[in-house]
Amino acid sequence: MKRQLLFLVLAGGLALMTAPIASAVNVVPGYCGHNYAMLMQGTEPNPNPATGSGDNVGPGGYPGWLTGIVGVGVIQFSVGCRNITGELIYNDGDIQYTVTGIGAFGGPAACYSSESILSGLPCFDGGNHFSAASVTTAGAPPGMSLLQFTANFNYFDLGIASPAGSLPFAFTIQEAAADSILVGTTVPSPTAPVLTLTMQEQSPSLVKVPTTFGEPPYAGVSAIVCTGTGADDDDLIAEISNNDSGGVAGSYGSAVGSVQILSSPATGILSFNTNDNLQVAGSTQPVSNNTACDFSEIPDPYDGPATFADGTSNLWSTITSAASDPTCTNAKSAGGGFTTSQVAWGASDQNSYAMVTGLTETIFPFIPPGEMSTCTHFAVAPATVTLSPLLR
């Protein structure tokens, strides 16, 4: 399959990655010696005016549309930042790039291969998948630093790329909150993605042993807030979803709710809001209503360990509302749900970032999500607190 080089990396997208970098750190940043959960959000650049024609005339058939990008991962800085490790799941355009040739969908490992329509879905494995990583203050704006690393993916391009793929990144970093929070942006380039990077410190006392779902740090009640940008109709999954729902291609959505993790399965509720509530003119599909969907959640049951010592985990959520529930249209699809991969963060790793990596249904294999979506989980109460008054 002939495709444009992702991000035009080798043709110049992040050409700065091939330039010499400082061999030593002039001023050691305060975040060296700490570990962080990472959340990336942004878009691919588009030189076309946003004409808003909405006509799918072939590859790139949505003039001016900005392809959404999300990433969730973990990064570890040794003392002095002499060694930098981590892993990342990255979704740039879902699978619309199989037509346009621009974008990527990758992760450290492949999960759910036995259940997937493709070669699995991206997931974490608890290992180090970063290389060529460095931190320097030389050349960075005053008070900031330059972080560079290459993320290596064993699941890449739907798992069909051979050999596995990799992507270089370069971020300008600003320290905040006594280095418990770092914020950044990609180094400017006319062809590189425009991304923000938020890094939240993991517990300094994080025990580097495998953890268990239903025990710290995966125990307690969390509030959830999510955002997502749909891929356009060049993405097969998005196109099917749009046709089935009568929704608008490339739409934006959000969700809010909570989850109680005391044991497996966890239980929770999500209230969704999306531009797909607006139907395409002439659509005969009923308007969706997913304002109160109950769900259950378990660790990935197909691929061995699903929670890891670096604070990452792979989870499978299933909608449990009754099929007749008027406030959860999605419950009409038996076994409907989604897979996520998460990274814990906070003083006791009680919070997390999550990325939606796939969609599930009983009568159909697991598929890519058709959108670029992330969630943030904020601790409401630890597992030692009486929880029932907080739950629906």
- Is the CB of residue 24 less than 8 Å from the CB of residue 209? no
Least confident of 11-15, 45-49, 127-131, 303-307: 11-15
More confident residue, 273 or 382: 273
The pLDDT of residue 248: 64
Per the listing, tokens 């125990």 go with: 219
The pLDDT of residue 185: 98
Residue that is last in its domain, among 201, 236, 261: 201
Per the listing, tokens 């909150």 go with: 177
Are 178 and 252 in the same domain?
no
Residue that is last in its domain, among 136, 167, 201: 201
* Structural domain contains residue 242: yes
User: For the CA atoms of 184, 227, 161, 2, what is the dihedral angle to 10 degrees?
Assistant: -90
The pLDDT of residue 10: 28
pLDDT at residue 99 tops 70:
no
Q: List 39's β-bridge partners, or say none.
A: 72, 198
Are 240 and 383 in the same domain?
yes
pLDDT band at 245 (very low <50, low <70, confident <90, very high): low
CA nearest 220: which of 382, 386, 353, 392?
Answer: 382
Residue that is last in its domain, among 166, 201, 236: 201
Are 141 and 187 in the same domain?
yes
The pLDDT of residue 58: 45
Least confident of 10-19, 111-120, 271-280: 10-19
pLDDT mean across residues, the chain? 81
pLDDT at residue 330 tops 60:
yes
- Say how far apart CA 90 and CA 171 lie, in whole Å: 15
Q: Which two tokens stand for residue 167?
A: 């992507």
Are 148 and 226 in the same domain?
no
* Structural domain contains residue 227: yes
Are 229 and 195 in the same domain?
no
Per the structure, the complete domain to which residue 156 belongs is given by 6-201
Are 225 and 271 in the same domain?
yes
Are 110 and 189 in the same domain?
yes
- Say how far apart CA 109 and CA 126 lie, in whole Å: 10
Element (H, E) at 133: strand 130-136
* Structural domain contains residue 252: yes
pLDDT at residue 184 tops 70:
yes
Are 226 and 374 in the same domain?
yes
Are 225 and 196 in the same domain?
no
More confident residue, 173 or 381: 173
* Structural domain contains residue 53: yes
* Structural domain contains residue 212: no
- Is the CB of residue 392 less than 8 Å from the CB of residue 269? yes
* Structural domain contains residue 254: yes
Are 181 and 252 in the same domain?
no
Are 121 and 227 in the same domain?
no
pLDDT, mean of residues 132-159: 91
Are 84 and 10 in the same domain?
yes
**318: CATH:** 2.40.160
The pLDDT of residue 9: 32
Total structural domains within the chain: 2
Q: Which two tokens stand for residue 274?
A: 């999306």
* Structural domain contains residue 226: yes
The pLDDT of residue 212: 75
Element (H, E) at 244: helix 236-245
pLDDT band at 14 (very low <50, low <70, confident <90, very high): very low
Least confident of 6-10, 102-106, 309-313: 6-10
The pLDDT of residue 201: 96
The pLDDT of residue 258: 97
* Structural domain contains residue 94: yes
Q: List 77's β-bridge partners, or say none.
A: 84
